[in-house]
Amino acid sequence: MATFGSFALLIALVLAAYNLLAGAVALRLLATGQRAFISPERLADTARRAGIAVFVAVVAAAFALVYSAFTNDFSITYITEHSNRALPGAYKFAVMWSGQEGSLLLWALMLAAYGFVLRLTHKMDVKLYAYAGTIMAAVQVFFLAILNFAASPFALLKGQIPEDGNGLNPLLQYPEMVIHPPMLYLGYVGFCVPFCFALGALMMRYPGEKWIRITRGWTMVAWLFLTCGIFLGMHWAYAVLGWGGYWGWDPVENASFMPWLTGTAFLHSVMMQEKKGMMKSWNVWLIFATFLLTMLGTLLTRAGLVSSVHAFAQSSIGMWFYIFMLATLCVCIFTYVLNRSHLQSDHHVESLVSRESSFLFNNLVLLVACFVILWGTLFPILSEYVVGNKVTVGAPFYNTVAIPIGLFLLALTGVGPLLAWRSTSLKSIRRNFVPPFIAFWAMVIVVLAAGDRPYHDGAWDSGQFYALVAFSTAISVLTAILSEFLRGGGVIRKQTGKNLFASILLLTRRNTRRYGGYIIHIGVVVIVIGLAGQAFNRNEEKELNLHDKIVVGPYTLECIGFSDDSNANYNSQFALFDVYKGGKKQFQMSPEKRVYQASQQPQTMVAIHSVPEWDLYVVYEGLNPGNGHPIVKAYLNPLVSWIWVGVLMIIGGTGIALFPSISPATASLRVPATRTVPTEHATDGGQR
């Protein structure tokens, strides 16, 4: 299969190169009106077909690698280093992205899949799709060239073929790791599509905002996949690494978060271009930056530039990425300078108290957050270059800067929908802002009355202070968003005579993009509430013998046994606890410690009991080498489950936003109107 896989990658590179060259020539001939031995239209179509064939070739190469893992073909170096005979079948798939070469093949596979769909749907706008497909072919050539000449996953092992491989990294032997990397890659690679459309539209000076509407679905899907990938990674870190947290500002975590920030800014900003013809340059550069940040994230992970549990070993492919990113940046700058007159705004911000200004502030704050994270991530690299040694930037730096920025963004989430376009009157401000203002201070009073006071013993607890602000702001934003649903639903109720719940459903169906976006914002609010609970985490660590107890929060854990087990893949030790609350036994927990046979690497399997108020999180840390006593650490982590609930709401809201709206006329055919209201009110409730 090594020969077959290598040949498939070579064919894919040839096809992608033809797609790039033939597509570029065809577009040049169409632009100049020149004729050649073959018509430009026919040449462009052959280029498109070659791009479709790239997908087939890359799928063949991916199949060859996975098949080699399942058949234990240890003649291939990559399979020897990342698989073994006892590896469970589900994790044989994870072998593909467990190492540098395979992960690059996954990148190429995802890119080929997106390109396949793009080229099949070319009839929506043949010329624009031809530009986008040609630019995508250039990206494909880059990755396929690396796979063929610098990091082949099918390189043969030199010397004697071993009986068994080194095994999959224990950190990847967890169910979520079968889906987390593909999700993350679908997000990373997905942003290549709007990048190609944006660059192509700028090259051809594409009139209007049609390219924005074409790419909206692509961008939302990529953003959703990246969101799911990030939070799956958080949940994996929480359940596997055993340190009690889910986000440590690790460089590779940051690398996925930065394009999410700029992609989020782009999704908000394009609405300004669609509705008002504004922020055209913003939108172009936001998507350019998002694509370049996905490349930077891929570079950080694969070139060994940073120390991370997620990163691969140091590699020589970094230079390939440096050259590609520099070339891409130069092309973007050149195209922008050449065609910047095409991006002049049709309107300008007329008032600071308007929805236009809220979008602008949203962009600025998201970019500031991205820059802060980028600076902290690259600082060790820059410090080593300047002073000769790496100066690591830790979580305190990020928390000090990022938390206030995040809270300000959260406030903007609630303020934006309450503002009118162009300018907001004082009367409107009083009407719309009073309920959120009351909700904010009511929550402050509730939190303080509950005894969680950020000022005690003559000093401020910054974590609890920020938590207080986060809880209060979240409730305020939630009040603002729900009031939008209630206001619009009330108008629909008057029109149709339906109950309020049915009216809100109809309101959402009439403008899925807007109200789906509000549901996404509610999901973000719920996540912030979950994150704020971290300020009240508690933990206890203790050496335990049989029937010893450890107390954390309202729970008492009694050790009732220690045991071990083994199978072909790993040996394990685990502890068994009876958990009591209020003197009554509630349930049992069994944290585990594994050592994998092939690699002899340890792995923590955390026991978690989750309820809406908190998670009880128990880690078996192994035996004390001094006296042989087992060591157990127990955490009480408030509100963590709210994070995962918020993610589900984001997924649901994005699905609604992607679903086509029904027009009020269509809706009226389904629901007979029993009462009419003035047109301006109906428009306000259903079409904003």
Residue 520 pLDDT: 95
Residue 459 pLDDT: 57
What is the token pair recorded at 291? 């694509």
What is the token pair recorded at 113? 């899949």
What is the token pair recorded at 51? 């791009």
Best mean pLDDT range from 47-51, 121-125, 465-469 = 47-51
Share of the chain above pLDDT 90, in %: 49
The per-type count for the chain, helices as H runs and strands as E runs, is 21, 12
Separation CA 206–CA 130 (nearest Å): 13
- Residue pair 343/368 in contact (Cβ under 8 Å)? The answer is no
> What's CA 390's distance to the chain center, in Å?
28
Residue 679 pLDDT: 36
What is the token pair recorded at 576? 């068994």
Mean pLDDT check: name the lowest of 229-243, 349-363, 473-487, 499-513. Answer: 349-363
- Residue pair 527/617 in contact (Cβ under 8 Å)? The answer is no
**Of 455 and 530, which is predicted with more confidence?**
530
Please name the residues in contact with 592: beta carbons below 8 A apart, sequence gap of 6 or more.
572, 573, 574, 604, 605, 607, 620
**Of 426 and 458, which is predicted with more confidence?**
426
Query: Nearest CA to 279 among 191, 343, 210?
Result: 343
- Residue pair 684/488 in contact (Cβ under 8 Å)? The answer is yes
Mean pLDDT (the chain, rounded): 86
pLDDT tens for each residue of 216-245: 999 999 999 999 999 999 999 998 888 888
What is the token pair recorded at 537? 């985490």
Instruction: Compute the average pLDDT of residues 320-348.
Output: 89
Separation CA 151–CA 299 (nearest Å): 13
Residue 350 pLDDT: 67
What is the token pair recorded at 146? 């690396």
pLDDT tens for each residue of 119-173: 999 888 889 999 999 999 999 999 999 999 998 999 998 888 998 888 888 888 8
The domain limits of the chain are 1-173, 205-404, 405-534+650-686, 536-641
Task: Return the sign of the alpha-carbon dihedral for residues 597, 598, 600, 606.
Answer: negative
Residue 667 pLDDT: 47
Residue 562 pLDDT: 83
- Residue whose pair of structure tokens reads 């004729």 in the numeric block: 35
Residue 209 pLDDT: 76
Cα distance between the two ends of the chain? 57
What is the token pair recorded at 686? 């259903």
**Of 418 and 522, which is predicted with more confidence?**
522
Query: Nearest CA to 565 among 578, 576, 550?
Result: 576
Query: Nearest CA to 574 among 593, 549, 601, 558?
Result: 593
Query: Nearest CA to 214 among 118, 285, 282?
Result: 118
Output the CA–CA distances (angstroms, integers) from residue 188 to 83, 118, 194, 441, in the order listed: 26, 16, 12, 40
Position 193 pLDDT exceeds 90: yes
Separation CA 279–CA 498 (nearest Å): 40
**Of 460 and 408, which is predicted with more confidence?**
408
pLDDT tens for each residue of 60-115: 999 999 999 999 999 999 999 999 998 888 889 889 988 889 999 999 999 999 99
pLDDT tens for each residue of 513-568: 989 999 999 999 999 999 999 988 999 998 888 889 999 999 999 998 888 888 88
pLDDT tens for each residue of 659-683: 888 865 554 444 444 443 333 333 3
Look up residue 538 and give its DSSP letter.
Answer: E
Residue 237 is which amino acid? Answer: A
Task: Report the DSSP beta bridge partners of residue 589.
Answer: 577
What is the token pair recorded at 661? 């709206």
Residue 47 pLDDT: 95
Task: Return the HEC string of 27-67.
Answer: HHHHHHCCCCCCCHHHHHHHHHHHHHHHHHHHHHHHHHHHH
Query: Nearest CA to 598 among 69, 81, 66?
Result: 81
A 10 A CB-CB count for 678 gives 9
Pairing assessment for the beta strands 607-610 and 538-543 based on DSSP bridges: unpaired
Separation CA 365–CA 114 (nearest Å): 31
Instruction: Compute the average pLDDT of residues 444-468.
Output: 74
Residue 454 pLDDT: 65
What is the token pair recorded at 68? 């080699």
- Residue pair 489/550 in contact (Cβ under 8 Å)? The answer is no
Residue 317 pLDDT: 83
Best mean pLDDT range from 146-155, 199-208, 595-604 = 146-155
Residue 682 pLDDT: 38
**Of 634 and 35, which is predicted with more confidence?**
634
Position 180 pLDDT exceeds 50: yes
What is the token pair recorded at 23? 């597509």
**Of 435 and 139, which is predicted with more confidence?**
139
Separation CA 503–CA 509 (nearest Å): 10
Task: Report the DSSP beta bridge partners of residue 594.
Answer: 572, 603
- Residue pair 646/530 in contact (Cβ under 8 Å)? The answer is yes
